[in-house]
Amino acid sequence: MKAHGTVHKYGDNIDTDVIIPARYLNTSSHSELASHCMEDIDKDFVNRVKPGDIMVADKNFGCGSSREHAPIAIKASGISCVIASTFARIFYRNAINIGLPILECPQAAKAIQAGDEVEVDFDTGVITDCTTGQTFSAEPFPPFIQHIIQKGGLLASIEK
């Protein structure tokens, strides 16, 4: 499986309140959540984002609230993959559980710039910045987590 898209770049400690502000948590509609994604730090994100685009950020991405609405909003906005130096642990679980691909790769997170064209190969963990020609290797998921991803999320993985 591969992802290919334009990069939307953010900094450290992108919290779930800016990914999807709590004032919109009175709905669980994926499309409605997506329409407010990143609104408080990047008002234009929802207008710029195209299906398949890639989000890149630095450390502790997704810190704060446990709201699954955050990875849902990102996924439903069309983002195909999030690359960060590190993820906050609840966001990390949630992304895996709902089938939003995420990769930890500090080198890629630092080097890749907004607007770059990036390709991600999920089978090998190789991230290619097509704009600069640089390649990076992300940490592979442990087999247990790969199993959840292959099954299409946590609930699918526990179904008999």
Partner 1 sequence: MGMTMTQKILAAHAGLPEVKAGQLIEAKLDMVLGNDITSPVAINEFEKCGACHVFDNQRIALVLDHFVPNKDIKAAEQCRQTRNFAGKYDIKHFYDVGRMGIEHALLPEQGIVGPGDCIIGADSHTCTYGALGAFSTGVGSTDMAAGMITGKAWFKVPSAIKVTLTGKPTGFVSGKDVILHLIGEIGVDGALYQSLEFTGDGVAALSMDDRLCIANMAIEAGAKNGIFPVDDVTRAYCKDRFTRTPVEYTADEDAEYTREVVINLSKLRPTVSFPHLPENTRTIDEIGPKEVKIDQAVIGSCTNGRMEDLRAAASILKGRKVADGVRCIVIPGTQQIYLQAMKEGLIETFITAGAVVSTPTCGPCLGGYMGVLGKGERAISTTNRNFVGRMGHVESEVYLSSPAVAAASAVTGYITDPAAI
Residues of the shown chain interacting with partner 1 in the complex, contacts defined by CB under 8 A: 13, 15, 17-18, 21-23, 25-28, 40-41, 59-60, 63-69, 71-72, 86, 88-90, 93-94, 97-98, 142, 144-145, 153-156, 158-159
Query: Helices 143-151 & 89-98, crossing angle to 10 degrees?
Result: 40
* Strand order from edge to edge, sheet including 81-84: 102-104, 81-84, 54-57, 2-9, 117-121, 126-129, 135-137
Cβ nearer to partner 1, comparing 109 with 118:
109
CA–CA separation, 46 vs 85, rounded Å? 23
Question: Minimal distance in Å, beta carbon 22 to partner 1?
Answer: 4
Question: Minimal distance in Å, beta carbon 20 to partner 1?
Answer: 11
Cβ nearer to partner 1, comparing 130 with 155:
155
Question: Minimal distance in Å, beta carbon 41 to partner 1?
Answer: 6
CA count, 13 A, side-chain hemisphere, 115: 0
The answer to whether 100 touches 75, Cβ cutoff 8 Å, is yes
Question: Minimal distance in Å, beta carbon 118 to partner 1?
Answer: 24
Cβ nearer to partner 1, comparing 50 with 147:
147
What are the structure tokens assigned to 90, written together?
């609840």
Cβ nearer to partner 1, comparing 60 with 128:
60
